[in-house]
Chains A and B, each alone.
Chain A
Amino acid sequence: MSQASQNQHPSVSVEVKGLRKSFGSVEVLHGIDLNIKAREVFVIMGPSGSGKSVLLKHLIGLETPNSGDVLIDGHSIQAEDMLERYRLAMVFQSGGLLNSLTVAENVGLYLTEHRLMPQKDIDRLVTEKLEALGLKGQENRMPEALSGGMKKRVAIARALVIDPQVILYDEPTSELDPLIAVTIGQEIKRLNQENDVTSIVVTHDRDLAFGIADRIALMYDGKVLEVGTPKELQQSKNEQVQKFLNASFKF
């Protein structure tokens, strides 16, 4: 039996409908429409300040839109019981690990707080997930003693423990050296293949996007310019898309 079929909570689709968001008088998202299929790796790419992270926060209900909606499996994310009905997880840019807890406590936090299983089983599951991400023996370390790459992997382990139907990654390779960035990219792809999960990745790292994406949305100035497979995006006639994809250090 494959691991994907062991997942008790099957992946779900995510739909974004006419999403608008303003902070004060500045509109950051100008009516975003997206349709993300269940079990795909969907990358939202774009330059800094294009509204990618704000969009990601809307996808998990951390921000409330001015208009429009995000539908998880057809249900609005604004509904009160959405995080009880669906298992959504997010890997934050900074990791978002609780600094007062050890690595193991961080990874098992969801299960401990919701009392989903006995402590013995939580410990076993935490060790299992940490091992799967190459973090064996790190259980009792504090987050401040970990490197950037390790923090990201602990954050991914914490997301996996939830047994998520959707995982959101916010800039998973930022502040990492290319070798670790490749490892994280491989992990995202592997976890998507092994678990029945929809993965949404926000990044401005073109190599990561083209390496792992089933489809890519390119955002610019709060709008989605183009959505398509990596190949379709490379063949795009849109000037902004080509400018972003072909920016180079060669002068």
Chain B
Amino acid sequence: MFQDIGEMLILFWRTLQALPQLWRQRLKMFDQLFEIGNASLLMACILSLFIGGVLALQTGPVMVERGLSGLIGGIVGLSVCKELAPVMMAVLIAGRIGSAMAAEIGSMRVYQEIDALKTMNINPIHYLVLPRVVAISLALPMLVIFAIMVGWMGGALVSVFNNDISISFASYFNNLRSVVELGDVLNGLIKSFIFAMTIGIVCCHQGLCTIGGPRGIGRSVTKAVVNSIVMILILDYVVTRVLLYFDL
């Protein structure tokens, strides 16, 4: 485990060092960006719509019962933008995109494509890791912005049309506007950026470490997704503490 962490830190550092090469790899980066958006946007919208909805459904009736119906918008708004959207989107992307990254790089490793790159003096970190890590680091915060807005809408729809809550759109969004500040959205975006880099590095690292045949690729994919999710949840706590320290 400690060897894996060490290797991932080295990979992260080398990827940062490779950033000046990004302009040369921009086409691959845009390909990846399109792939991530195309594969995940619809899923992200559906997921966040229902997350917002279920949050309103769980909290709404209890709040109404205690005469606090005016706070539903704020509770849903804050929970979605600071916690649920970044974490759930990161988990979705780890499963949907991280697994594909680990599988693709893993099969390239098994079928000697990465060795071929090395013999051509093409650095696999520049060619494979950099465009993927940058693309996922840009795509996830963008997806989170969508997810936040759709999540808020999901909460609003349930708050308005559920008989046990039945508040107006105006009441929901007025409260949401008065509670949620730009800093709260920024909090979610900072988290998602950190989660995205983690997913990119963990999954590319697993791909590059793949050994064996198809079974090895399968093992790498499973490990990449599980490790990413564990890292996301651990980092969620750590980053939240750090951001609270900075009053975000």
Interface residues of A, Cβ cutoff 8 Å to B: 57, 60-62, 83-84, 88-90, 92-94, 96-99, 109-110, 113-114, 162
Q: Is the interface of B mostly helix, strand, loop or mixed?
A: helix
Q: Residue of A at shortest CB range from B127?
A: A113
Q: In the complex, identify which listed stretch (B50-58, B118-126, B144-152, B187-195) lies at the interface while the others stay far away.
A: B118-126
Q: By the criterion CB–CB under 8 Å, are B113 and A84 in contact?
A: no
A98–B119 touching, CB < 8 Å: no
Q: Is the CB of B112 within 8 A of A92?
A: yes
- Residues B121 and A96 in contact, CB atoms below 8 Å apart: no
Residue of A nearest to B108 (CB): A98
Size of chain B's interface in residues, with CB distance under 8 A? 14
Candidates B112, B119, B127; contact of A94 at CB < 8 Å: B112
For B31, give the chain A residue with the smallest CB separation: A100
- Decide yes or no whether B116 CB sits under 8 A from chain A: yes
Partner of A83, one of B115, B116, B121: B121
Name B residues whose Cβ lies closer than 8 Å to a Cβ of A.
107-108, 111-113, 115-122, 127
Counting residue pairs across A and B whose Cβ atoms lie within 8 Å, the total is: 47
A89 to B115, alpha carbons, bound, how many Å? 11
Q: List 24 A-B contacts (CB under 8 A).
A: A62-B115, A62-B118, A83-B119, A83-B121, A89-B119, A90-B119, A92-B112, A92-B116, A94-B111, A94-B112, A96-B112, A96-B113, A96-B115, A97-B113, A97-B116, A98-B108, A98-B113, A98-B117, A109-B120, A109-B122, A110-B120, A113-B120, A114-B121, A162-B120
Verify B115–A92 contact, CB threshold 8 A. yes
- Closest residue on chain B to residue A155 by CB atoms: B116
Residues of B near A84 (CB, < 8 A) are 121
CB-based contact B122/A90 at 8 Å = no
Q: Report the separation of the CA atoms of residues A61 and B121 in the bound assembly, to the nearest whole angstrom.
A: 11
CB within 8 Å for A60 and B119 given contacts A98-B108, A98-B113 = yes
